[in-house]
């Protein structure tokens, strides 16, 4: 039973992320979300109490945290170098964006927002960049530059989201070779950017 609730909550948060992307957050209410999702308000209250802010916070965290989880410090026999590691993570990211395209959409819409949503997204972004820096240093043995890593990550996410929203073009067996070529190009471009010593 607990597993079913977890799956239900994931589906609910994914839908709220989509609504955040499509609507002004100030327009969202428990009544509106209940009407669109057909989920009783009592269920929303069960998960989030009476706080719309808590609900939005959880949705933003859900929409963004998967990208942080794509970075790991585990260095396996199969992923001997940075390029192998990046290709494996890019494949995972493409599938994730295909399944949940509103996560990166939320990022690009609210990245520079001055409110709580933008602040939370930037916090999650900083965690991702920090973990990427650590992973880069493990694989390459050279110090990572936060600004170049941030720029490379921004470029990578934008290109992957482009694949995600063009799902009919990219997600089929015939397109596998195209995706592999794009992943190779993104890997090369981001690795080049990450070697730069950018300053602010």
Separation between Cα atoms, residue 149 and residue 168, nearest integer Å: 30
pLDDT at 162 over 80: no
DSSP state of 195: T
3-class SS string, 31-86:
HHHHHHHCCCHHHHHHHHCCCHHHHHHHHHHHHHHHHHHCCCCCCCCCCCCHHHHH
How confident is residue 186, by pLDDT bands cut at 50, 70 and 90? confident
pLDDT at 151 over 60: yes
pLDDT value for 2: 40
pLDDT at 3 over 60: no
pLDDT value for 172: 67
Comparing 166 with 125, which gets the higher pLDDT?
125
pLDDT tens digits, 37-85:
888 888 888 888 888 888 888 888 888 877 677 666 566 666 678 888 8
pLDDT tens digits, 85-140:
888 888 888 777 777 778 888 888 888 999 888 998 899 889 888 888 988 898 88
Structure tokens that stand for 156 in this block? 């990578």
Max mean pLDDT range (2-11, 171-180, 184-193): 184-193
Three-class DSSP category at 3: helix
Structure tokens that stand for 168 in this block? 């009919």
DSSP state of 108: H
The stretch 166-182 carries a mean pLDDT of: 71
Q: Within a 10 A sphere around the Cβ of 34, how many other Cβ atoms?
A: 16
How many residues does the structure list for the chain? 200
pLDDT at 5 over 70: no
pLDDT at 6 over 50: no
Separation between Cα atoms, residue 72 and residue 53, nearest integer Å: 30
Max mean pLDDT range (4-13, 169-178, 188-197): 188-197
Contact 75, 35 (CB under 8 A): no
* Axis crossing angle, helix 52-69 with helix 2-22, rounded to the nearest 10: 100
Residue ranges covered by each domain of the chain:
2-61, 63-194
**Dihedral sign for Cα atoms in the order 79, 152, 195, 68:** negative
How confident is residue 146, by pLDDT bands cut at 50, 70 and 90? very high
Provide CB contacts within 8 A for 15, sequence distance 6+. Answer: 33, 36, 37
**Dihedral sign for Cα atoms in the order 100, 133, 137, 187:** positive
């Amino acid at each position: 039973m607990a597993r079913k609730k977890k799956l239900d909550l994931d589906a609910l948060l994914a839908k709220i992320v989509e609504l955040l992307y499509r609507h002004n957050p100030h327009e969202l209410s428990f009544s509106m979300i209940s009407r669109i999702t057909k989920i009783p308000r009592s269920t929303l209250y069960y998960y989030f109490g009476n706080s719309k802010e808590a609900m939005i916070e959880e949705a933003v965290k859900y929409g963004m945290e998967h990208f942080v989880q794509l970075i790991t410090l585990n260095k396996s026999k199969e992923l001997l170098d940075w390029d192998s590691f990046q290709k494996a993570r890019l494949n995972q990211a493409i599938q994730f964006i295909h399944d949940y395209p509103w996560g990166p959409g939320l990022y690009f819409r609210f990245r520079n927002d001055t409110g709580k949503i933008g602040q939370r997204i930037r916090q999650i972004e900083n965690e991702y960049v920090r973990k990427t820096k650590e992973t880069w240093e493990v694989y390459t043995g050279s110090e990572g530059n936060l600004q170049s890593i941030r720029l490379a990550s921004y470029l990578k996410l934008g290109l992957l989201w482009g694949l995600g929203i063009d799902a009919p073009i990219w997600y089929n067996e015939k397109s596998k070779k195209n995706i592999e070529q794009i992943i190779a190009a993104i890997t090369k471009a981001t690795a080049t950017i990450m070697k730069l010593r950018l300053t602010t």
